[in-house]
């Protein structure tokens, strides 16, 4: 089979088309004929060599997100059959082949049937970001109807799903954006109030939209200085959930307000092989919400083919993308 692989860490130019043996199905796994995959920040961090401890061996086939058709099922797999259309985040890390290939061997526990109302391209945009948002807001923050929830970065991969999940859960949803184009997109996603963080300080929007009390839940999808802003935006006894905490912070604001901080690292179940079926369960629930019209993926208008994965990475890394960048195989 053909694959887009890297033989060393580096710039997007390290991708090369190579021939690899087609994987043989093993117990508990399915073989997927890949239709599409999407670019997540972890993918280009792995390519650059920023996370060598979890990178696959060279020649490395990257990318976790996949949408495709089941080609064969291994012993013990009863959830899927050949011909099923599936999606999931199922490889591209240490010990697991990725989706930048014609075929991908995947643990069946990490997959779910693709939402019927989505194309393969659209479905490939969802797995990692949907699982991350679900773990953050539904499992950790346990959002309740009527709560004021602030989701940072409305048009980001995780942010745009977080907005829709919070809305589905009955929250009053606020979000931050950097310009008018993103403001319009956020409104279309169902946000109650959109805040341009370049025009208002945290103190100003907390005063305007919460009468100075702060938000019940703050979802930080950005990290670094934005985590400090999230602490400042949270209400007394509030909850902050972050998916980016590889940085040093003053935790005294948490003490002063009695805040709860949750850190979510979506890859843990994949990397350690524990409770992997939880990912499949989340994706099953997400697919139902998608088909009910409660969630829809936000895709950047630019489209990339299998041979253009280097260009897709350059574009995703540039910060110019609005929504997810997808590669069709």
> How is domain 2-128+272-328 classified at the architecture level of CATH?
Alpha-Beta Complex (3.90)
In a 10 Å sphere around its CB, with 0-12 CB exposed, 13-18 middle and 19+ buried, how is residue 100 labelled? buried
Handedness of CA 103, 43, 246, 136 (dihedral sign): negative
Condensed to tens digits (0 to 9), the pLDDT of residues 171-193 reads 999 999 999 999 999 999 999 99
Q: Does residue 240 sit in helix, strand or coil?
A: strand
Specify the pLDDT at position 43: 97
Specify the pLDDT at position 235: 98
Indicate where the chain has its CATH 3.40.50.720 domain(s): 141-263
Specify the pLDDT at position 88: 98
Report the alpha-carbon distance of residue 129 to residue 299 in Å, rounded: 12
Going by C-alpha positions, the residue among 144, 128, 162, 146 that lies closest to residue 242 is: 162
Report the alpha-carbon distance of residue 193 to residue 287 in Å, rounded: 27
Report the alpha-carbon distance of residue 87 to residue 130 in Å, rounded: 12
Across residues 33-42, what is the average pLDDT?
A: 97
CB distance 31 to 105 below 8 Å = yes
Phi, psi of 202 (to 5 degrees): -60, -45
Condensed to tens digits (0 to 9), the pLDDT of residues 308-327 reads 999 999 999 998 999 999 99
Confidence of residue 141 (pLDDT cuts 50, 70, 90): very high
Confidence of residue 57 (pLDDT cuts 50, 70, 90): very high
Across residues 282-291, what is the average pLDDT?
A: 98
Task: Tally the C-alpha atoms within 13 A of residue 64's C-alpha that lie toward its C-beta.
Answer: 29
Specify the pLDDT at position 182: 93
> How is domain 141-263 classified at the architecture level of CATH?
3-Layer(aba) Sandwich (3.40)
Across residues 271-291, what is the average pLDDT?
A: 97
Condensed to tens digits (0 to 9), the pLDDT of residues 198-224 reads 999 999 999 999 999 999 999 999 999
Across residues 66-81, what is the average pLDDT?
A: 98
Q: Does residue 101 sit in helix, strand or coil?
A: strand
Report the alpha-carbon distance of residue 42 to residue 56 in Å, rounded: 13
Going by C-alpha positions, the residue among 24, 32, 41, 4 that lies closest to residue 111 is: 32
Indicate where the chain has its CATH 3.90.180.10 domain(s): 2-128+272-328
Q: How far is CA 283 from the centre of its chain?
A: 12
Specify the pLDDT at position 125: 98
Residue for token pair 């990912």: 279
Does pTM surpass 0.95?
yes
CA dihedral (37, 39, 45, 46) in degrees, to 10, reads 10
Phi, psi of 151 (to 5 degrees): -110, 120
């Amino acid at each position: 089979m053909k694959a887009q692989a890297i033989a060393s860490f580096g710039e997007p130019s390290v991708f090369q088309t190579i021939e690899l043996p087609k994987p043989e199905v093993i117990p508990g796994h399915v073989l997927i004929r890949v239709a599409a995959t999407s670019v997540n920040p972890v993918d280009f961090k792995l390519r650059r060599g920023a996370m060598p401890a979890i990178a696959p061996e060279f020649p490395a086939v990257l990318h976790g997100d996949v949408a495709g058709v089941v080609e064969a099922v291994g012993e013990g797999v009863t959830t899927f059959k050949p011909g099923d259309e599936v999606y999931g985040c199922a490889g591209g890390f240490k010990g697991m082949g990725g989706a930048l290939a014609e075929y991908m061997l995947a643990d069946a526990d990490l997959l779910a049937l693709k939402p019927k109302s989505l194309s393969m391209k659209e479905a490939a945009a969802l797995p990692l970001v949907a699982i991350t948002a679900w773990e953050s807001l539904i499992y950790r923050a346990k959002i309740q109807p009527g709560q004021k929830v602030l989701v940072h970065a409305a048009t980001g991969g995780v942010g745009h799903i977080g907005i829709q999940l919070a809305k589905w859960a009955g929250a009053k949803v606020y979000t931050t954006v950097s310009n008018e184009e993103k403001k319009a997109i956020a409104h279309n996603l169902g946000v109650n109030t959109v805040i341009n963080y370049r025009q208002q300080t945290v103190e100003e929007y907390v005063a305007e939209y919460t009468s100075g009390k702060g938000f019940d839940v703050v979802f930080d999808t950005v990290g670094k200085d934005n985590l400090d802003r999230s602490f400042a935006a949270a209400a007394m006894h509030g909850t902050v959930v972050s998916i980016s905490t590889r940085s040093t912070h003053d935790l005294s604001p948490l003490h002063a307000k009695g805040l709860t901080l949750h850190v979510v690292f979506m890859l843990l179940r994949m990397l350690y092989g524990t409770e992997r079926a939880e990912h499949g369960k989340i994706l099953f629930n997400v697919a139902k919400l998608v088909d009910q019209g409660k969630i829809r993926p936000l895709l950047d208008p630019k489209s990339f083919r299998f041979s253009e994965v280097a260009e897709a990475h350059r574009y995703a890394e540039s910060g110019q993308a609005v929504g997810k960048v997808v590669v069709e195989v």
